[in-house]
Structure 1
Amino acid sequence: MTDRRADSGAALTDPADVRPLVLVAVGTDHHPFTRLIDWADTYAADRPEVRVLVQHGATPAPATAEGVGLIDRDRLGAAMRAAAAVVSHGGPATISEARAAGHLPIAVARDPELGEHVDDHQIRFVARLDSARMVRACSSYQQFAATVDKALAQPADFRVVEEPGEGPEAVALRAGRLIDLLIGTARADRPGPAAPPPGDPDPSAWPEVTVVVPTRDRPDLLRRTLDHIAAQDYPGTVRTLVVYDQEEPDPALERADAARPVGVLRNTGRPGLAGARNTGVLAARSDLVAFCDDDDTWLPGKLRAQVEVMRAEPGTELVCCGIRVVYGRREAERVLDRTRVEFADLLRSRLTELHPSTFLLRRAALVEGAGGVNEEIPGSYAEDYELLLRMARRAPVRNVPAAHVRVLWHARSHFGGRWQTISAALRWLLTAYPEFRLVPRGFARVAGQIAFAEAAAGRRAAALEWAVAALRAHPGEARAYLAAAVGCGLPAGAVLRALHRRGRGL
């Protein structure tokens, strides 16, 4: 890897190198964009037949791809014209330069939750450009690699004809016109309600949805969650009920907006997630109810995609979708590649992709059918999984195979380190659902989780007992071996961090 600075005068193109050039430009913002640099490095390592050149700015230089810190505008334009594909961060100027050079840019927005920017304006900006077919947006490495591959294999699909004009003034005008796409749809400090695309039916034709958001002691994360719910491109009314668990409600959050009203109330059920969710469900007056945790966020098309399933299939009672797991500076996409999930599927696997923040339910299925969220589970742990099992007993769960929810895994997660509660809840689950005994792999999975929790809590004898039970049911159950390692002194936190970095849980 060679690091060439802008004032070095070195050429960025090499006539002797006949490999196709992929140019990755992260701009000059002082926030590091390590995620995109890592993607470029991985791509370069996997495809040595492609030359990857990264303008990395304030981010440390790539290890495998070629790198240059800063590039002046003239040489950047020349490099873009010579490139087979251009990858840009979400800055208007860089995107405008790429389009002026004839490229449909592959855009990766900087994410403030990963420390890549001060706010989420790039996420909203790139989403608007992507919907207008002015960029190809990418949010995971898999999507990034597939899109770059496609740009190299089908270059005609990634070429544009931009109006002529050189110099800083022309660049500024082009960037300004791109920024104009945001006018009227969002403020700089928060996502705003997106206008429905042309041709949508009257908003009154779309059913009202009530979103239940349980919360406790996370006001900053909660406000971010509410902003993203309000930013749904769903044509109908989205009413949010914030349910405060074991603390006083904040009336300042209430909004009287006709399309996106917000109400606050106190948990009147048993303390915990289950009681808070039930409080919201009982207070709702709409036919459809959605769940969202106070530290997660919805992407704009989430509700529309799920409600379309409900409208087309009146017998469907629960619709889920895929997620993007955010852990530290890493993000991993978890999408289930099927549209139907049966009870037997959920016995075999938890299917983490079916996260509670993705749930859209028919209220009657809870209040008059399967019953509410179970408040008897110790600590409300795994109440979402138990509800999935109960709903799937009645009818198949439907799934939208696309990531529409961003799930934040972090140190302030409610169950972090509550190992005895986790163990008690999982043992309750095995008792409540004896069917697990008929599915050895599924029983082994839960028993392995119990073994790990007992080991992390320092109860070695109980951990050994459950680990042995797991291995008897399924000798390949990895959680049992991890539990043994934790029982021998390996820190449980180190195991979880390693899993979370890969978008995986226990």
Structure 2
Amino acid sequence: MSPRPLVLVTVGTDFHPFRRLAAWADRIAERHPGIDVLVQHGSAPPPRHARGRAYLDHAELRAAMEQAAAVVCHGGPATITEARRAGRLPIVVPRDPRRGEHVDDHQLRFVARMSAEGLVHACDGEEELRAAVDKALTSPADFRAEPPAAGAGPRDAAERAGRLIDTLVATRRPAPPPATAPAPAAPAGRRPDVTVVIPTRDRPRLLRDALDSVWAQDYPGGVHCLVVHDQCAPDPSLAARGGSPPRSTSVLVNARTPGLAGARNTGLLAAATELVAFCDDDDLWLPGKLRRQVGVLAADPDAQLVCCGIRIRYGDTTAERSLDTAQVTLAELLRSRLTELHPSTFLLRTSAVRGGVGLVAEDIPGSYAEDYEFLLRAARQAPVRNVPEIGVQVRWHARSYFSGRWETVSGALRWLLDRHPELRLQRRGLARVTGQIAFAEAARGERREALRWVGRTLRTRPAEARAHLALAVLCGLSPDAVLRALHRRGRGV
């Protein structure tokens, strides 16, 4: 007895539910019991008649595409590229922002361009989708695609598709200024007030240095510092500080989840200004930082979050990290953490926090990597803007808050993989995170677990250095020695 033909339907990993496509696929399965319909439904409700999986890892997705008689997908360039690499002409239903399926219409325009070039079979409605699936089952040759030529690897194909989609999306907003141009100053008549949220815990001297650096900014608008004491007694004397141009300080106690994320959110929810910034209590803002960043937001109404470069001080060594670009996309953040985008450089619109981006995640274990997770959500809404100049001095300490808490680090990174399955679409980014987990497990002496994550990392990307460092730690190398060597170069694991 021959197996039932497989129809694969994948909605991708975006957090917006794609209920429409999932429901259409389920009705195809209901009406055609002789077809095996597998639906990767993401955040949409699971199907009742088809087989359902919330997410498929890369290996599972590729295997299903190669087996499927028809591949139906959303309009994401990575998924379309993967289907064509598997030799399938994908049947594509783009997400529509008017139905709450995406943040913008880039999939609609991307799919229109790909359809015009004959690279996808685009569908707009349920009847059209059903007809396309029927045709793929009865005339399979019409839904075959030539795989890329030898040498055109998955990374090259994904980057080409990513560049095309970035080009299409960029037409919706003004082009950013060149990276080499100085950041614009805020218009003379538009100087919005800024709230600076400074979480602190038992570091009074460092805290006062951080406050002084904020107060010394040459920004002519109002600046209000919210010092949020986390798991420590508040210092009411800080509230007496004031100055001109308008400068003031308030003292709060973190009444939310204990930890950095809860403290940041306490400040975010208390902020009454148009703009809000972060500064850690052991970091220093350098002259001109705030003025240049406000200028970026003033010049681009679509921008929501702007960062800048950092100078890292570790013991007697200094390293400068700055990106030579005016904006950073979600795809770039999935590939790399980009530690240049440090939370003490964040300046964002309060409306973004209360809108699509949301608060800092308080359920991430130990608040580890909460800043990176926040960046991923922000970049889903709009590219993160960047001032390609050093604006913050970051002080790393010989024994950082997380350096000895490897179990927390491992748990937080696993949480990150579960919460952001789109990391699986970028092999370099996935290997980076799994390699970090491998190193953390090796550092805490969990040999079997460390080897499991090393294996997963090397299968994803054999050149990932973190897996090899984890193996070195398992062979006796001190994890603290590794961290010290990396920190002296302004790097981390």
Q: What TM-score results when the alignment is normalised by the length of structure 1?
A: 0.60
Other-structure match for 2:233: 248
Instruction: Confirm or deny: 8 A CA contact 2:398 2:484 kept in the other structure.
Output: no
2:454 maps to 1:459: no
Q: Is the 8 A contact 2:187 2:295 kept in 1?
A: no
Equivalent in the alignment of 1:224: 209
> Residue 260 of structure 1 aligns with which residue?
247
- Which of the numbers 338, 350, 356 marks the counterpart of 1:369? 356
Match of 1:504 in 2: 491
* Paired residues for 1:135-154 under 5 Å: none
1:356 to 311, 321, 343: 343
Structure 1 position 487, deviation (Å): 1.1
What does residue range 333-412 of structure 1 map to in structure 2 within 5 Å?
333-412=320-399
Structure 1 207/412 Cα, relative in aligned 2: closer, same or farther at 3 Å?
Answer: farther
Separation (CA, whole Å) in 2 of partners of 1:333 and 1:256: 32
For the structure 1 residues 339 and 201, does the alpha-carbon distance in structure 2 shift closer, same or farther, using more than 3 Å as the test? closer
The correspondence for 2:195, drawn from 196, 201, 210, is 210
Aligned partner of 1:27 in structure 2 is none
Residue aligned with 2:359, SS: coil
Task: Tell me by how many angstroms 1:407 deviates.
Answer: 0.4
Q: In structure 2, what residue type is equivalent to 1:444?
A: A
| 2: CA distance, partners of 1:463 / 1:200 | 50
**What is the one-letter code of the residue matched to 1:409?**
W
Counterpart of 1:378, as a letter, is P
Alpha-carbon distance between aligned partners in 2 of 1:392 and 1:368, rounded to the nearest angstrom: 13
Q: 5+ unaligned residues in a row in structure 1: which ranges? A: 1-198
Q: What amino acid is aligned across from residue 306 of structure 1 in structure 2?
A: Q
Structure 1 contact 210–289 (Cα < 8 Å) conserved: yes
SS at 1:248's partner residue?
A: coil
> How many residues are matched?
307
SS of corresponding position for 2:320: strand
Conserved? CA contact 2:225–2:250, under 8 Å: yes
- Whether the 8 Å CA contact 2:186–2:292 is kept in 1: the answer is no
1:255-309 deviation per Cα after TM superposition (whole angstroms, max 9, x unaligned): 2435110111000110011100000011110010000000000001100010000
Contact 1:330/1:501 (<8 A) preserved: yes
Q: Is the counterpart of residue 304 in structure 1 residue 291 in structure 2?
A: yes
Contact 1:451–1:462 (CA under 8 A) maintained in structure 2: yes
Q: Distance in 1 between matches of 2:186 and 2:232?
A: 41
Tell me which residue corresponds to 1:236: 221
C-alpha distance in structure 2 between counterparts of 1:241 and 1:390, whole Å: 24
Question: Cα gap change, 1:200/1:265 in structure 2, threshold over 3 Å: closer, same or farther?
Answer: closer
The amino acid of 1:211's aligned partner reads V
Cα–Cα, structure 1 residues 414 and 312, in superposed 2: closer, same or farther, change >3 Å? same
Q: By how many angstroms is 1:403 displaced?
A: 0.7
Match of 1:468 in 2: 455
One-letter amino acid of the counterpart of residue 411, structure 1: A
Matches within 5 A, 1:7-406: 205-254=190-239, 255-257=241-243, 259-406=246-393
Secondary structure at the residue paired with 1:454? helix
What does the per-residue CA deviation read over 1:87-141, in whole Å, with 9 as the maximum and x for residues that have no partner?
xxxxxxxxxxxxxxxxxxxxxxxxxxxxxxxxxxxxxxxxxxxxxxxxxxxxxxx
Contact 1:200 1:235 in 2 (8 A): no
Residue ranges of structure 2 left out of the alignment (5+ in a row): 1-184
- Residue 200 of structure 1, CA deviation: 9.1
- Mean Cα displacement is larger for which, 221-230 or 249-258? 249-258
| Paired residue secondary structure (1:276) | helix
- Output the CA distance in 1 between the equivalents of 2:186 and 2:473: 55
CA distance in structure 2 between the aligned counterparts of 1:307 and 1:231, rounded to whole angstroms? 16
Change (3 A) 1:471 1:253: same
Given that residues 320 and 390 in structure 2 are in contact (C-alpha distance below 8 angstroms), is that contact kept between their aligned partners in structure 1? yes
The residue type paired with residue 362 of structure 1 is R
Question: What is the CA–CA distance in structure 2 between the aligned matches of 1:217 and 1:488, rounded to whole Å?
Answer: 37
Describe the SS at the equivalent of 2:247. Answer: coil
Distance 1:215 1:206 in 2: 28
Select which of 409, 418, 426 maps to 1:431: 418
Report how far residue 434 of structure 1 moved.
0.9
| Residue identity opposite 1:250 in structure 2 | D
Instruction: For residue 414 of structure 1, report the CA deviation from its aligned partner.
Output: 1.9
Offset at residue 214 of structure 1 (A): 0.3
Give the match for residue 183 of structure 1: none
| Post-superposition CA distance 1:190-217 (Å, at most 9, x none) | xxxxxxxxx9976x73110000000001
RMSD: 1.4
Once the two structures are TM-superposed, the CA of residue 411 in structure 1 deviates from its matched residue by: 2.9
The offset of 1:326, in angstroms, is 0.5
Shift of the alpha carbon at 1:385?
Answer: 0.1
- State the one-letter code of the partner of 2:224: R
Higher relative contact order (CA 8 A, sep 6+): 2
TM-score by length of 2: 0.61
CA–CA distance in structure 2, aligned partners of residues 503 and 288 of structure 1 = 29
Task: For residues 27-47 of structure 1, give each alpha carbon's deviation from its aligned partner in whole angstroms, at most 9, with x where no partner exists.
Answer: xxxxxxxxxxxxxxxxxxxxx
Q: Does the 8 A contact of 2:278 with 2:345 survive in 1? A: yes
In structure 2, what residue type is equivalent to 1:494? A
Say if 2:187 and 2:298, in contact at 8 Å, map to a contact too: no
1:381 and 1:330 map into 2 onto residues whose CA distance is: 25
One-letter identity of the residue aligned with 1:228: S
Q: What SS does the aligned partner of 1:205 have?
A: coil
CA deviation map 1:426-455 (0-9, x unaligned): 000001111111111110000000000111
Q: Which residue of 403, 409, 418 maps to 1:422?
A: 409
Task: Tell me if the contact between 2:486 and 2:492 (Cα under 8 Å) persists in the aligned partners.
Answer: yes
SS at match of 1:324: strand
